[in-house]
């Protein structure tokens, strides 16, 4: 688990929310996984690291691969919440909105 994923998980716990499943395989044909997921609600959480250092998620093939993954997830009915290190304080607030529904 990356440092960013540990911090996100901590924010979820501090918000008093259920602990999500880690590294959840969601696609019937591809090997794609979400960093965290609530399968019963079809809510996924993706931690987007290295945004400011031109990490894999922000460069060519990595970016395109992520787009394909997120589009496939959407077509399967998933709601994907994406967080960079600058956004992690929003995780608990955002998830509470889904859990109130």
Superfamily holding 3-95: VSR Endonuclease (3.40.960.10)
Q: Is the pLDDT of residue 9 over 70?
A: yes
pLDDT score of 55: 56
What is the model's pTM? 0.86
pLDDT digits (tens, 9 = 90+) for 50-90: 555 565 655 567 788 889 999 999 999 999 999 988 888 99
CA angle 2, 38, 18 (to 5 degrees): 80
3-state secondary structure of 39: coil
Is residue 38 packed enough to be buried (19+ CB in 10 Å), middle (13-18) or exposed (0-12)? buried
Q: Mean pLDDT, the chain, as a whole number?
A: 89
Q: How far apart are alpha carbons 6 and 76 in whole angstroms?
A: 27
């Amino acid at each position: 688990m990356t440092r960013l994923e540990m911090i996100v998980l901590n924010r979820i716990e501090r918000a008093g929310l259920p602990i999500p499943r880690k590294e959840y395989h969601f696609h019937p044909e591809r090997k794609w996984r979400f960093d965290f997921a609530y399968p019963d609600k079809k809510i996924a959480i993706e931690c987007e690291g290295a945004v400011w250092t031109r990490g894999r998620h922000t460069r060519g093939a990595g970016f395109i691969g992520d787009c394909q993954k997120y589009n496939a997830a959407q077509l399967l009915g998933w709601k994907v919440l994406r967080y960079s290190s600058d956004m992690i304080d929003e995780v608990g607030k955002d998830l509470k909105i889904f859990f109130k529904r």
